[in-house]
């Protein structure tokens, strides 16, 4: 085999080894966080500033969000939305965070646009349907709220938040019709 091909393979080998060292280091921290439940700053920082690898990164962000490891304010929402968008420009979580930021800023129409974008990437995700229903409810558009509420309920009837919304929506519109 030619020397030039051997040199090319040697460079390839060096680069891929360096890359895999990073992958293993990153994945070890993700395991610490997701499986071992180690929520230390060192671990979370190394993940959120680590490799742009979509699945482990987004799962870690979702866990951090669900467990309120970061304050739910626009700065954080936008930071993670941008990070996730960098890794995957069709990531629904990006739009979910942007919608959350717009909602707490009082921009409900803007929030609906963002949430609708998240919904367009995962059309049957009951969380996004429920969020759309809540946003429409808060915008006093009860017919639209009912439409997304019923879709969400059909897919995941056990969601606890549905019950609260059902009671509120029931005072505004007939849900049986």
* Residue selected from 39, 54, 104, 105 as contacting other proteins according to rule CB under 8 A: 54
Binding of other proteins at residue 17 (CB under 8 A)? yes
Q: Which of 7, 51, 9, 5 is nearest to 29 (CA)?
A: 51
Which H helix or E strand runs over 80? helix 74-87
* Residue selected from 43, 56, 102, 136 as contacting other proteins according to rule CB under 8 A: 56
* Residue selected from 76, 78, 117, 125 as contacting other proteins according to rule CB under 8 A: 125
SS3 of 172, please?
coil
Residues 146, 175 contacting (CB under 8 angstroms): yes
Binding of other proteins at residue 120 (CB under 8 A)? yes
* Residue selected from 113, 155, 168, 173 as contacting other proteins according to rule CB under 8 A: 155
Q: Could you give the count of Cα atoms lying within 13 Å of 120 in the half-sphere of its Cβ?
A: 9
Residues 70, 85 contacting (CB under 8 angstroms): no
Which residues contact other proteins (rule: CB under 8 A)?
Answer: 1, 5-6, 9-10, 12-13, 16-17, 19-20, 23-24, 27-28, 30-31, 34-35, 51-56, 86-92, 120-127, 129, 154-156
């Amino acid at each position: 085999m030619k020397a030039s091909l051997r040199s090319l393979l040697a460079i390839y080998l060096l680069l891929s080894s360096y890359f895999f060292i990073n992958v293993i280091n990153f994945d070890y921290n993700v395991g610490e966080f997701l499986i071992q439940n180690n929520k230390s700053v060192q671990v979370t920082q190394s993940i959120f500033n680590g490799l742009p690898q979509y699945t482990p990164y987004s799962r870690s962000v979702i866990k951090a969000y669900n467990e309120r490891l970061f304050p739910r304010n626009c700065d954080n929402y936008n930071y993670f939305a941008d990070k996730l968008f960098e890794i995957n420009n069709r990531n629904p979580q990006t739009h979910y965070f942007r919608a959350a930021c717009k909602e707490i800023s009082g921009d409900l129409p803007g929030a609906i646009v963002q949430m609708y974008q998240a919904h367009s990437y995962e059309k049957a995700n009951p969380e996004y349907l429920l969020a759309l229903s809540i946003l429409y409810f808060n915008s006093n558009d009860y017919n639209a709220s009912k439409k997304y509420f019923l879709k969400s309920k059909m897919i995941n009837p056990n969601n606890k938040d549905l019950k609260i919304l059902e009671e509120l929506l029931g005072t505004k519109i007939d849900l049986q019709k």
